[in-house]
Amino acid sequence: MKILLALSLALLCAFAQAKEAAPMAADEAVEKRMVAISDELRCLVCQNESLSGSHAELAQDLRREIRTLIKQGKSDAEIMDFMVSRYGDFVRYRPPLKATTYLLWFGPFLLLAGAIAALVMYLRSRGRQVAESAGRSDAALSPEERQQAEALLKPNEMNESENKR
């Protein structure tokens, strides 16, 4: 048991000594710029993760492409334009507001408005149905059914009056 505890502590100390991963680029400035650009881009495989945080093969290829463009002296805007021209506005986390991206920007709000309208319509029709059924609840029972219901309710009324005493 003591040996197992000592081994566990030794492993814990080894992990505590771990260092930050070395940047993939030889130039740290290139790597920082690549990370800043790829933070603004969506991984096309994961779709809900930034390009810099994704471990997908395509994301690694795109990061390598961004590094190459940076080394060629391209500006951040030129790199973004290159990525958008190649993969469309979907690759950006914040696509520009233009006619082709209206659905991306306003689609969720339209769906929400449609869902609220459907809910209101459903609740109104349900309210009408309840009101109509309440209006004919007396007429819906035949005399026999009415007697059965009263017979079922009488023992409960007696129990309630006994409980009040």
| Tokens 């059965």, located at residue | 148
pLDDT tens readout for residues 73-98: 999 999 999 999 998 888 888 888 88
pLDDT tens readout for residues 15-35: 655 544 444 556 788 899 999
If we measure between CA atoms, which residue out of 59, 44, 92, 42 comes closest to residue 67?
59
pTM above 0.75, yes or no: no
Question: What is the amino acid identity at position 124?
Answer: R
SS3 30: helix
Structural domains of the chain, ranges and CATH numbers in brackets: 21-96 (1.10.8.640), 102-164 (no CATH)
Contacts 24+ apart (CB under 8 A), 103-107: none
